[in-house]
Amino acid sequence: VWFDPEAYDLYNDLTVLRDMSKHLPQGSPRGLQALRSLNGAINTLRPGDRSTYAKTKEISEDFLGVPNRDYNHTIYATGHCHIDTAWLWPYRETRRKCARSWVTQMRLAKRYPGYKFTLSQPQQLQWVKDDYPTVFEDILDSVQNGTFIPLGATWVEMDANIPDGESFCRQFLLGQKFFKDHFGRRSNIFWLPDTFGYSAQLPQICRLSGVEYFLTQKLSWNLINKFPYHSFKWIGIDGSELLTHFPPADTYVDKGDVGSVGYHMENYKQKAVSQESMMLFGHGDGGGGPEMAHLERIKRIQNTSGLPWVKIASPGDFFEALEKRKNSLPRWRGELYLELHRGTYTTHAKIKKANRDAEKLLRNLEIFATAASGSQSSPGFEYPKGELDDMWKDILLNQFHDVLPGTCIEEAANDSMNIYSKVLSEASRLENAALTHLIQDFGGKEGAGIVVNTLGWPRREVIDIPNSESSSVPHLVSTPPLGLSSLP
């Protein structure tokens, strides 16, 4: 295959002319002018006769070169490659998708100076670091020169309904730690474009994690009640505010063409108070990201009369501009409920049960391990920080928004259950080790036991203590909050 850059250049010019004549309002001056220029270009061009290329280019440039004087609205466009960590493929395939997609984007950036591309999900970055270390080094260089923009704040783009509060906090804790360790800064943008609804506790957790902004588009999928805003302030349970934006094109795989820009402007609900909005362009779900055609189209429409300004920029640039309008934006308090995918609360119930079992077990393990490692009278137990971090990363991985909700294929679901089995086994082993140390630390007569209260309030209850294989004796026991006591 021979690539003809001159012919490709003309192809993109004529595509934009065609789209403007098709998508601009019927009878609009610029739409009619686009059609006239397109007719002139087609009548001039002779396939196979390269001598007609220059004149055809001149006709298209006469139209596309007229600068934008009609709109003061700016669309901030950023390259995006949504990669589902598992969905119609297992985790192991995602490891390869990430490397292929990001290498493609680095090559594209060399061809198009000023290009900006977003990176999210530290888990995926960790996979590339492990499997393709030279590619990861190139990514670090791309972040350093401003081409790649790491953002998102969480370990994966997780389900935002089913995990408990501790898991939400760990998503941000481990995600932000990765960004800080590898890129020198935390992300101030929560990036969750494809998750099936959003808990009302997230604004508070975001702000406590250093996050100021939130982007998604998923509520555009609502079946009945269309969400009323694209730019607004999301208010959490405690009153925390998160400046939020839903791209008006209602997608995270925008084509970056005239039709999508036109829909973008027509659909944007905050035009009266905001002169900026955001576009995420590129192939996604299975990776890929933008290709040359996306950037060629945007190059031609970014400052063309009849269309809004389209500016290649980072999400941070966009939110800094929107920040100036925030006092005029509407407010939404509480949950962001998606009227679709309701089966995600029940589908693949075994995954949901394993998730909750793992969450509870790791919480108890951390309490027991903290008490055992802090013992003064019986030192020797070392807090298993490395093991706990690894197990938490496995749990957080399985909370990805197509795994925990149950919307992935069976192979991916089986992978997640294998991971849960490994976590539950290792956590139980460490829990038993910590409890054994605590029993020894409390001393007392041989065979004496302890009662541990892992809840945050004191408890006084009657429990049955086995005294043989077939019988037990009731005991009244009292324990302090997050504490323990010896059995009588």
Residues with a catalytic annotation lie at: 194
Rounded (5°) CA angle 157-162-168: 55
* Rounded-to-integer distance, Cα 272 and Cα 301, Å: 23
State the number of CA atoms in the 13 A half-sphere of 80 facing the CB.
30
Chain mean position to CA 257:
24
Radius of gyration of the chain measured on its C-alpha atoms: 28
* Rounded-to-integer distance, Cα 171 and Cα 162, Å: 13
SS3 (DSSP) at 235: strand
CA distances in angstroms from 103 to 120, 178, 295, 442, listed in the order given: 15, 21, 17, 57
Q: What is the residue-wise DSSP string for 357-370? A: HHHHHHHHHHHHHH
Q: What is the residue-wise DSSP string for 209-222? A: TT--EEE--GGGG-
Residues near 73 by beta carbon (within 8 Å), at least 6 away in sequence: 265, 268, 271, 275, 276, 277, 308, 309
* Rounded-to-integer distance, Cα 249 and Cα 267, Å: 7
Between helices 122-131 and 165-183, what is the axis angle to 10°? 50
Q: Which has the closest alpha carbon to 400: 102, 175, 148?
A: 175
Residue type for position 196: F
Q: What is the dihedral of CA 33, 35, 39, 41, to 10 degrees?
A: 70
Contacts 24+ apart (CB under 8 A), 421-427: 421/354, 422/394, 423/358, 423/362, 423/391, 423/394, 423/395, 424/354, 424/357, 424/358, 424/361, 426/387, 426/391, 427/358, 427/361, 427/362, 427/365, 427/391
Q: What is the dihedral of CA 285, 288, 292, 293, to 10 degrees?
A: -30
* Rounded-to-integer distance, Cα 351 and Cα 354, Å: 5
* Rounded-to-integer distance, Cα 97 and Cα 92, Å: 9
Q: Which helix (H) or strand (E) holds 278?
A: strand 276-281
- Per DSSP, 482 falls in state T
Residues shown for the chain: 488
